[in-house]
A and B are shown apart, each in its own frame.
Chain A
Amino acid sequence: KQEVTQIPAALSVPEGENLVLNCSFTDSAIYNLQWFRQDPGKGLTSLLLIQSSQREQTSGRLNASLDKSSGRSTLYIAASQPGDSATYLCAVRRSSNTGKLIFGQGTTLQVKP
């Protein structure tokens, strides 16, 4: 059974700092991995999607990496801003035959001005 874990559960950093959020999964046989952002009381916004054949994806100040063999993904946020404060969730898809995502519990990030 696939399990997804995100550590730490919460993180507080000063503005301008570079930071890394971690995501680990127990079954390396995944199809893709997706990082989402969730603001309080809101739905999920997709940030980056990495196919299993890819090593990383970049969008602006965000960079996500994937190491299938070790069951790990990281989300790197450069030059953090107060507007980055939110909960970040990672989710894995097992295969192309299913649309089901298995989510981690999320990391709540606070960026202090």
Chain B
Amino acid sequence: EAGVAQSPRYKIIEKRQSVAFWCNPISGHATLYWYQQILGQGPKLLIQFQNNGVVDDSQLPKDRFSAERLKGVDSTLKIQPAKLEDSAVYLCASSFGTSMSGELFFGEGSRLTVL
């Protein structure tokens, strides 16, 4: 079974530039999450989708971050304009079905460096 796919793996940009990350969850997983992991910290949830609807985006900095999951499968996370403090690993995860209690499976992450 293929895992959660993310791209690009690494991205270096200058502050005020924009960047987009892509995630393809495990086939059949209805729930998709984007987490932000700053160096030395645990991941923090940015946004959660169930199919193509947003369940929780309370910690998403909406003035600069946006995410979509138009067809209920893959998802894109965008940052525009980027700030230095956005340097982090952006992890995508998915879980089976519509149950909120399912085990999460994570991708390898997209590492962003903002200069």
Contacts and interface: CB of A to CB of B under 8 A. Distances in A.
Interface of A: 4, 31-32, 34, 36, 41-46, 49, 89, 91, 93, 95-101, 103-106
Contacts of A96: 99-101
B101 A91 contact: no
Contacts, number: 67
Nearest to B102: A99
Interface residues of B, number: 29
B22 interface: no
B108 to A, nearest CB: 4
Contact of B107 (A34, A43, A91): A43
A43 B45 contact: no
A105 B101 contact: no
A49 B96 CA distance: 15
